[in-house]
Structure 1
Amino acid sequence: MRAGSSYSVRTRPVPASPALRMTSTRVRCVLLVLALLFLALIGRAVYLQVVQQDFLQNQGEARFRRTLTLEANRGVITDRNGEPLAISSPVQTIWASPTDMEPVPPAKLRELAGLLDLSPEELSAKLSDRKKEFVYIKRQISPEQADKVMALGIPGIAKQQEYRRFYPAGEIVSHIIGFTGVDGKGQEGVELAREKMLAGKDGRRVVLKDRRGHIIEDVAAIEPPRDGQKLALAVDHRIQYLAYREIKAAVEANKAKAGSVVVLDAKTGELLALANYPSFNPNNRVGVTPEMMRNRGVIDLFEPGSTMKPLSISLALEHGKANLNTVLDTRTYMIGPATIRDVAPRPSLDILGIIQKSSNVGTSKLALMNSPEESWKHYDALGFGRAPETGFPGEASGRLRDWHKWRPIEQATMSFGYGLSVSLIQMARAYTIFANDGVMLPISLYKTSNPMPGKRVLNEKTAHEMRDLLIANSQPGGGAVGGRIIGYSIGGKSGTARKLEGRSYVANKHRALFMGFAPGHAPRVIVTVMIDEPTAGKYYGGAVSAPVFSQVAGGALRILNVTPDEPSNNTLLPESTPVPVDF
């Protein structure tokens, strides 16, 4: 090559090796795959965020969104004077969401079970179903006990406020008030009858919770609960206590199966007291039997025996078939093959004598002066055979057969209390005609300032005559002497009825009865008493039930500040005084 000369050198391209060509292809493939994956992710995101948005939101809320019930406070039940008979106290309920829970360590499980008085096995069974989102662990425990549970810090365990019913008077008023179940709903008595009024309406709160059960935020407006209304009964807790004390003492003293007493306001028909024994404590129903829970004064039916006689006799006076001067032959007589007799027969008696000596013969002859239809209409007007409409759940209607099917003997026996069935509260209502000038008052379970109008059954003249006859029956020689009250006049009628078992009357099983009012001349209270199967030696109504009437009616008059209408030195007859037969 010479100096200064120029020339160009051609570079020949080096051919790509096969390995290099393979690497480039792989890169492009990888980039393509990554691009496709990225597009798939974008598509999936769009699908989830747009197409499946509602579904996913619902699923998320289903796991962490909860609707909490804000329990309404059940209405207070009081007596007529505002004394509380049923109140609600705040308690806590422990619940869990097994689906949100991890397995609980054995030590924590045992500690939780101990706080809730559960066995570890029982607690494990409640938490074992992981599909459940809600399960009660223990209901209605004290707030202090609930705080100890929550202090364990177990995820998925939560508490909720509820209310537990408490009955300050316990067994004294349990058959009237009834009780609620663990869910707070009425089960018996007034609690059941007025459930809608007392319960109110629960509120609700929709929240989001974390996995530990803690509330994160509200996701909707809170709906506050509407508390139940206050309910005032016609019952006077002082008279109720007195009635329960006396009926319990009488049942125990006479070794009886059971007993009931009803007290009505003679002017308004309000139920001042209704007590049964045996009874039960609604605050602790462990060991309570159905027999203890029977509201016998309302649902038990019986043949009223001689206490029916004034009601039957009043019809003969009302229709003018007899008057106070009428004298009847009261010797034993026959109706077909049946014999009508008195325990202590007398050749003749006037109307007062028939009541004082409790004459079956005289009463039946007076009843037979009326047609069967007339007698049926009278008994029907008195409410027999129909529910008394007091408002008590399960109140009995009794039995009054169609008059077309009556035979003469049946019309006769019904007049002295056999062949029809009644409840004690029906008899109390029927006796309002004697205390209220012939008008039968409806019974009011609730306090009222405007009593419902009654229905006239007798004219005033007949009602006054019957009232005077029943007052005279409380004087020496009458069957109501055992019901007399120091300082007050009374009117009343005792009765003793054999019990029917199967198709036969049992000679040694009786119901002792007494129906009456006081003061006699201006009645303020009506008291009816029934003692079932007294077995301590005495079984006549005048000896067993009349003293209960005396104590309850006398105490009620003093509680109500009723002015005595007889001298304070009028004395009761001693127990040794023979009681006229009312059987």
Structure 2
Amino acid sequence: MGLEGARYPWRFRLVLALLAAMVGAIAWRILDLQVIDRAFLQEQGDARSVRHVPIPAHRGLISDRNGEPLAVSTPVTTLWANGKELQAARSRWPELAAALGQDVRVFSQRLEQSANREFMYLVRGLTPERGQAVLDLKMPGVYGIEEFRRFYPAGEVAAQLVGFTDVDDRGREGVELSFDNWLAGVQGKRQVLKDRRGRLIKDVQVMENAKPGKALALSIDLRLQYLANRELRNALVENGAKAGSLVIMDVKTGEILAMVNQPSYNPNNRRNMQPAMMRNRAMIDVFEPGSTVKPLSMSAALQSGRWKPSDIVEVYPGSLQIGKYTIKDVSKTEGPALDLTGILINSSNVGMSKVAFDIGGEAIYNLMQQVGLGQDTGLGFPGERVGNLPNHREWRKAETATLSYGYGLSVTALQLVHAYSALANNGRLVPLSLVRVDREPVATQVVPEAVAKTMQGMLQQVVEAPRGVFRAQVPGYHVAGKSGTARKATVGSKGYTANAYRSLFAGFGPMSNPRFAVVVVIDEPSKAGYFGGLVSAPVFSKVMSGTLRLMNIQPDNLPAEQPQQTVATSAGNGGRL
């Protein structure tokens, strides 16, 4: 070996030089990292210990017009675990299961299946106190996250309107979904130091503050919402009905003061909720409005200038043949001929059809379109329907007649109350709003003022005349309205379902200065009867009565003061006045 080294001295020197160069490079790198470029190692160390933890942001408060809460965010604790770390504490699994209120066997199987996972939810949405009690067990691999959960103080009363959020606090139904961008907050971020096991060592600093969501004041008056919900629920029970909707609207501002649907659900506990309960029927369910649109057809007749309220129409014998179709009056009218008000009071299909033939279907179509039927309301509510208002190139008698008394078109309860608001507001239509309106909106004159005022008087007679819908009367107030009864169309085929009806009533008051419009829809009543004047009119009376009193509207129909002697005599006869 010595001989070889002596024979090739340059090889030996080359090996020594290479070894020296390697040692020098290593020494230089150590010097560079430890002295010259210290930031690199610090950065790498921080990457393994510095963490950015999200700061939860709560959603904005949803309240009614008076500030009563409809949806609030409450702090909760979510517990998660590192499945690998939990394997080292198998003896404490029963203790953890008991603290979480879970079955030990099922809980253990779940942890076994997640043995190789570094993240798994244990339970979400615990109260902070209960979550901290679990964390205080100091269980290896168990950690907590601060979150917010939505709570709905009004429960089922405003469920379909307000909607709800999912487990990640994102809007999924109703106002929570349609205003999600407005209500959702923006998470913040804070910097912390953690060890290799993920345990918190030090809270360093807040990098970004959380931005809470913006508050939203709805147009709903929670007092009226409770009133409407109670009366609608009672009506469904009394009449053995399948479902129902009720809407109260301020005709001056366009605000929806109450919108209720039955059956409903509790948004705070949705375990037994059925999908049908989630539907905001007042905005999603469409139906043929029946006789409730006769006032709109009659308004078109008055607007044409060809008709006035005192004009007489022959309705005998209560039926009218049009080709192979026969138009019939459901009930016997008070005579062989009726004036226009009498047509509305008796709800005569024959009389309404003859008036419609004279003015033409196009005139009725145009007015219905002007008051919002078949049109988008502009509310942007998820799943809202626009209904259908048919137009024909040639208006034949059959299409003209059916449109005039409420068949062949489809509307929602919200569209119907919007249309009646135009009549109540002297022919002026204002945009609808689910949000509180601070300034009276710009109104559009869609019906001549003189026509609207004439129609107000005619509809008042529909309620107050001897043959009128007396069940809709409101003690102490003059009100107006029209009942309707519509057969339910068969789903998936033509024609109508046997013995299936919707009972309707639409009206407004007080007549001294109409302020509130109400629509009641009761689906498939099955007990005493199904006519709108029998089933829905009493609900209108109770809801309108409560609304006028809660809103401090001065009565305009108080009885005249009786002499003292007359009162005493009446009392002596058992108080029957």
TM-score (norm 1): 0.86
Give 5+ residue unaligned stretches, structure 2.
1-15, 562-577
- Aligned AA (1:475): E
| Residue in 1 that maps onto 2:88 | 104
CA shift for structure 1 position 383: 1.3
* Aligned alpha-carbon RMSD (Å): 2.8
SS of 1:403's equivalent?
Answer: coil
Following superposition, the deviation at residue 217 of structure 1 comes to 3.5
Question: Which amino acid in structure 2 is aligned with residue 341 of structure 1?
Answer: K
Q: Is this contact kept in 2: 1:157–1:212, CA < 8 A? A: no
Q: Structure 1 residue aligned with 2:398, among 380, 403, 409?
A: 409
Q: Report the counterpart of residue 503 of structure 1 in structure 2.
A: 494
**1:334 aligned to 2:325?**
no
In 1: Cα distance, 2:470 partner to 2:243 partner: 24
Q: CA deviation at 1:172?
A: 0.7
- Rounded to whole Å, the distance in 2 between the matches of 1:364 and 1:63 is 82
Which residue number in structure 2 is paired with residue 117 of structure 1?
Answer: 101
Q: How does 1:437-452 map to 2 (within 5 A)?
A: 437-452=426-441
Match of 1:75 among 51, 54, 60: 60
Match of 1:265 in 2: 250
Matched with 2:388 is 399
Q: What is the identity, as a one-letter code, of the residue corresponding to 1:182?
A: V
Corresponding residue for 1:559?
550
Q: Deviation per CA, 1:144-202, whole angstroms, max 9, x where unpaired?
A: 22112211223442212111111111001111111111101111111111111111211
Name the CA distance, whole Å, in 2 between partners of 1:315 and 1:569: 37
Partners of 1:476 and 1:370 in 2: how far apart?
A: 27
Report the residue type matching 2:414 in the other structure. I
SS at match of 1:262: strand
Counterpart amino acid of 1:306?
Answer: S
AA paired with 2:521?
A: M
Aligned pair partner of 1:171 in 135, 156, 161: 156
Any conservation in 2 of the 1:96–1:127 contact (CA below 8 Å)?
no
Task: State the shift of 1:44 in Å.
Answer: 6.6
Q: How does 1:128-207 map to 2 (within 5 A)?
A: 128-130=115-117, 132=118, 134-207=119-192
Instruction: Give the drift of 1:103.
Output: 3.0
Aligned pairs for 1:22-41 (under 5 A) are: none
Query: Which whole-Å deviations, capped at 9, do the CAs of 1:305-361 have from their partners, x for residues lacking one?
Result: 100100111001011121112111213222222122212254211101100000101
- Alpha-carbon distance, 1:445 to partner: 0.7
Deviations 1:425-447 (A, max 9, x none): 10000001221000122211111
Return closer, same or farther for 1:271/1:510 CA change in 2, 3 Å cut-off.
same
Q: SS of the residue aligned with 1:88?
A: strand
- Which shifted more, 369-378 or 264-273? 369-378
Give the structure 1 partner of residue 526 of structure 2: 535
Q: Distance in 2 between matches of 1:91 and 1:510?
A: 47
Change (3 A) 1:148 1:269: same
| Residues in 2 aligned to 1:44 and 1:393: alpha-carbon distance in whole angstroms | 63
Structure 1 pair 353/155, CA: closer, same or farther in 2 (3 Å)? same
Aligned to 2:359: 370
How big is the shift at 1:42? 3.4
- 1 CA distance for matches of 2:380 and 2:165? 17
8 A Cα contact 1:479 1:493, kept in partner: no
The answer on whether the counterparts of 1:155 and 1:211 sit within 8 Å (CA) in structure 2 is: no
Q: What is the CA–CA distance in structure 1 between the aligned matches of 2:435 and 2:83, rounded to whole Å?
A: 47
- Counterpart secondary structure, 1:227: coil
Corresponding residue to 1:517 among 492, 505, 508: 508
Q: Distance in 2 between matches of 1:412 and 1:306?
A: 12
State the Cα distance separating 1:98 from its structure 2 match: 4.9
More moved, 252-261 vs 438-447:
438-447
CA drift of 1:498 comes to 1.0
Match of 2:452 among 449, 459, 463: 463
Please state which structure has a larger fraction of its residues in helix: 2
Alignment map for 1:300-315 (pairs within 5 Å)? 300-315=285-300
CA deviation vs aligned residue, 1:55-112 (integer Å, no higher than 9, x gap): 976765554333211111211111111111111111111123457x363311222322
In 2, Cα distance between equivalents of 1:455 and 1:122: 66
Where do 5+ consecutive residues of structure 1 fail to align?
A: 1-30, 571-583
| Alignment of 1:42 onto 2:27 | yes
Aligned partner (choices 216, 221, 230) of residue 231 of structure 1: 216
TM superposition shift of 1:526: 0.8
CA distance in 2, matches of 1:487, 1:520: 11
Secondary structure (helix, strand or coil) at the match of 2:378 reads: coil
- What SS is found at the alignment partner of 2:209? coil
Which residue type is aligned with residue 143 of structure 1?
Answer: P
Q: Deviations over 1:189-244 (max 9, x none)?
A: 11111111111211111322124533233566421111111111111111100000
Q: Distance in 2 between matches of 1:407 and 1:533?
A: 32
SS at match of 1:428: helix
- Residue equivalent to 1:18: none
Cα offset, 1:569, TM superposition: 8.2
Q: Identity of counterpart residues, as a percentage? A: 45
Q: Aligned residue for 1:256?
A: 241
How far 1:411 sits from its partner (Å)?
A: 1.7
SS at match of 2:87: coil
Please tell me the residue identity of whatever aligns with 1:384. Answer: L
Highest Rg: 1 or 2? 1
Task: Tell me by how many angstroms 1:391 deviates.
Answer: 3.5
Is the partner of 1:474 in helix, strand or coil? helix
- Calculate the TM-score normalised by the size of structure 2: 0.87
Alignment correspondent of 2:337: 348
C-alpha separation between the residues in 1 aligned to 2:345 and 2:509? Answer: 18
| Corresponding position of 1:480 | 469
Provide the residue aligned with 1:15 in structure 2. Answer: none
Residue 308 of structure 2 aligns with an amino acid whose one-letter code is N
Q: Could you say what secondary structure the match of 1:324 adopts?
A: coil
